[in-house]
């Protein structure tokens, strides 16, 4: 029996996933600079990854919604809009992109809890992107697809790592140039 691709991705991309989390954990979301940097990094990464999802409309629609929510959150801060992405991501497997982005929504719950602990107002539209829990149906669809994936995993593992690195690169590009704390 073939291994569940979700388990394979989790096991074989652990380090790059942790590196990505570390890149963002260093940015203090409770400061205007940190919030701006994080939203800009996510918007840029999502914008460059979205073209890879054309073959999977359910994922393209959901991840486009998330990008639009991040754009609206940034607008709620009063910041200038993010310019068009500086680059398109290399062609990546849609399942790899969906795994990284939709899986990150589980981490957004942790961020939302940290924001509550830091007493960031619940109704703040600037934090709506982090508090959104609307990706459940797309995540369940992805889980089913990964569980029944019949093919070789090597290329999707590589593409998943590449998608994580895009988020890391954007975090580094937009991170504020000051000492930050973890939320």
> Which token pair is 118?
């830091």
- Structural domain spans, the chain: 5-81+88-174
**What's the CATH architecture for 5-81+88-174?**
Up-down Bundle (1.20)
Q: Which of 101, 168, 171, 97 shows the shortest CA–CA distance to 134?
A: 101
Q: What is the model's pLDDT at position 1?
A: 45
For the cut 90, the answer to whether the pLDDT of residue 177 exceeds it is: no
Return the residue matching tokens 């994580």.
164
More confident call, 89 vs 116: 116
- pLDDT confidence of residue 86: 57
- What pLDDT band is residue 65 in, cutting at 50, 70 and 90? very high
E-strand spans in 126-181? Answer: none
CB 85 within 8 A of CB 151: no
Kindly report, residue by residue over 130-156, the tens digit of the pLDDT. Answer: 889 899 999 999 999 999 998 889 999
**What is the rounded distance in angstroms from the CA atom of residue 67 to the CA atom of residue 62?**
9
From the list 180, 166, 172, the residue with the least C-alpha distance to 52 is 166
pLDDT higher than threshold 70 for residue 106: yes
Residue 30 · residue 120 · CB < 8 Å: yes
pLDDT mean over 67-77: 94
In angstroms, the CA 71 to CA 44 distance is: 10
DSSP state of 50: G
Mean per-residue pLDDT for 94-109? 90
């Amino acid at each position: 029996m073939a291994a569940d691709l979700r388990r394979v991705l989790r096991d074989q991309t652990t380090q790059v996933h942790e590196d990505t989390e570390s890149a963002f954990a260093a940015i203090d979301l409770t400061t205007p600079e940190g919030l701006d940097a994080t939203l800009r990094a996510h918007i840029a990464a999502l914008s460059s990854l979205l073209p890879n999802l054309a073959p999977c409309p359910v994922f393209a629609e959901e991840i486009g919604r998330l990008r639009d929510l991040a754009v609206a959150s940034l607008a709620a801060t009063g910041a200038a809009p993010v310019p068009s992405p500086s680059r398109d991501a290399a062609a990546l497997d849609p399942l790899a992109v969906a795994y990284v982005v939709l899986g990150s929504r589980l981490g957004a719950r942790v961020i939302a809890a940290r924001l509550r602990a830091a007493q960031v107002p619940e109704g703040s539209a600037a934090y709506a992107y982090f508090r959104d829990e609307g990706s459940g149906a797309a995540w369940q669809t992805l889980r089913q697809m990964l569980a029944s994936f019949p093919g070789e995993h090597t290329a999707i593992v590589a593409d998943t790592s590449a998608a994580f690195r895009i988020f890391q690169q954007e975090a580094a590009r937009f991170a504020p140039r000051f000492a930050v704390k973890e939320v």
